[in-house]
Amino acid sequence: MQAYIDEAEKALLHTYNRYQVVFDKGEGVYLYDMDGKRYLDFVSGIAVFALGYQNKEYNDALKTQIDKIIHTSNYYYNLPAIEAAKKLKEISGMDRVFFTNSGAEAIEGAIKTARKYAYLKDGATDHEIIAMNHSFHGRTMGALSVTGNPHYREAFEPMIGHIKFADLNDFDSVASQVTDKTCAILFETVQGEGGIYPATEEFMRSVRALCDERDILMILDEIQCGMGRTGSMYAWQKFGVKPDVMTTAKALGCGVPVGAFLMTEKVGAHSLVAGDHGTTYGGNPLACAAICKVIELFEKEDVLSNVNKTGAYLASRLDELAAEFACIRQRRGVGLLQGLVFDRPVGDIIKRAMDKGLVLINAGTDIIRFVPPLIIKEEHVDEMTAILRTCIRETEGEQQ
Ligand SMILES: *Cc1c(COP(=O)(O)O)cnc(C)c1O
């Protein structure tokens, strides 16, 4: 394995501090490295592989599609895209779909939609977007421009401009920055990367009312918190408010790179038209066959019930750990998107967990993020907490 890692370090650009492991295959909620060592996976490729590895129906659907056609062009129709758009409308309650290749591209599309919507009203080209501190929306220039982490942006300035930052769940910080130029208010329903901060119902409702009053688009980024992770198909669906535009990706294709931005009929009718936006791959038959099967399997395997049940169990077991260890400040999150906030960097704990066959990931330096496949069971939660407890104890021992 080490030889391959050395090869990788010679060829790949060093944009990640990678863990010293080469994963070779997956099965259910377990990963295997090249030496055959087994790992319990509480990351699922960062909230992607919701259905677990080697779901037979999912794999078969992709193989069947590969043998028919993998790619055409968006200048033609294809059946998987038609079916995927219909299913996505059903699960989201939105009206119009544009398929992308990634989450960041879905954000780009949402930004362009908001700017065009505002442009059509007054012909101006200086509209503003309010985004949130601690947000994460992706690494392309537009997505980076609305990402509330100055550290990610600095070397790449200038950003796209006319972006303001407010605080999630602090409605006044949003309202006080709204002007006649504001075209959109954008946030993650549950902030992922930035530290697992869920939006409150009050904040959601207040922003919705403000957007209605001023004809501003409410854009929700559901790339990480969507697709069932919080116990509803999309996290905003719990709140009795609906966005004007939303983004989805990560678990949408369960491993096949695909995303989408969706909008209401009203926004669709007053924003992007032919010639305004496009993509070569977005919504190709292979990607859309994946979406169709994913949505079908979510229903068939009753994934949401499992998230609600196992998510509550995970939260209670993490609460036990938080009570047990002084170094854990807080547990927060919804469903199977949980975080444990430590009073110190968590890198050492995560490395130890890897050694013991448990894959975990951080969110920021001090938070361990739990984003397992959505099919995990209580026994897996128990297996995870047992290993994690040992790792925390070991690091505590070293502190003394
Ligand atoms: C991962 C993520 C993105 C970016 O998606 P990519 O597919 O990596 O471009 C955007 N927003 C949120 C909330 C994410 O978690």
Q: Determine the CATH number of domain 69-300.
A: 3.40.640.10
CB 376 within 8 A of CB 336: yes
- Record the pTM: 0.97
Ligand 1 binding pocket mutation candidate from 222, 224, 334 (most atoms within 8 A of CB): 224
CA distance 372 to 335: 11
Query: Quick one: pLDDT at residue 399?
Result: 61
What residue spans in the chain does CATH classification 3.90.1150.10 cover?
Answer: 2-54+302-399
Query: Quick one: pLDDT at residue 398?
Result: 72
What spacing in Å lies between the alpha carbon of 143 and ligand 1's midpoint? 9
Query: Quick one: pLDDT at residue 396?
Result: 87
Task: Give CA angle at 219 (261, 308), nearest 5°.
Answer: 80
Mention the CATH class of domain 2-54+302-399.
alpha beta
Could you tell me the mean pLDDT of each successive run of 10 residues in the chain, 400 residues long?
94 92 97 97 97 97 98 96 98 98 98 98 98 98 97 95 98 98 98 96 98 98 98 97 98 97 98 97 97 98 98 98 98 98 97 98 97 98 98 83
* Nearest residue by C-alpha to atom 11 in ligand 1: 137
51-78 pLDDT, tens digit per residue, is 999 999 999 999 999 999 999 999 999 9
- Lining ligand 1 with CB less than 6 A are 102-104, 107, 136-138, 188, 192-193, 221, 223-224, 249-250
CA distance 235 to 47: 14
What spacing in Å lies between the alpha carbon of 223 and ligand 1's midpoint? 6
H or E stretch covering 304 = helix 303-324
**Which residues face 339 on adjacent strands?**
332, 369
What residue spans in the chain does CATH classification 3.40.640.10 cover?
Answer: 69-300
Residue with tokens 């599309």: 109
Distances (CA, A) of 270 to 120, 134, 217, 273: 7, 31, 12, 9
10-41 pLDDT, tens digit per residue, is 999 999 999 999 999 999 999 999 999 999 99
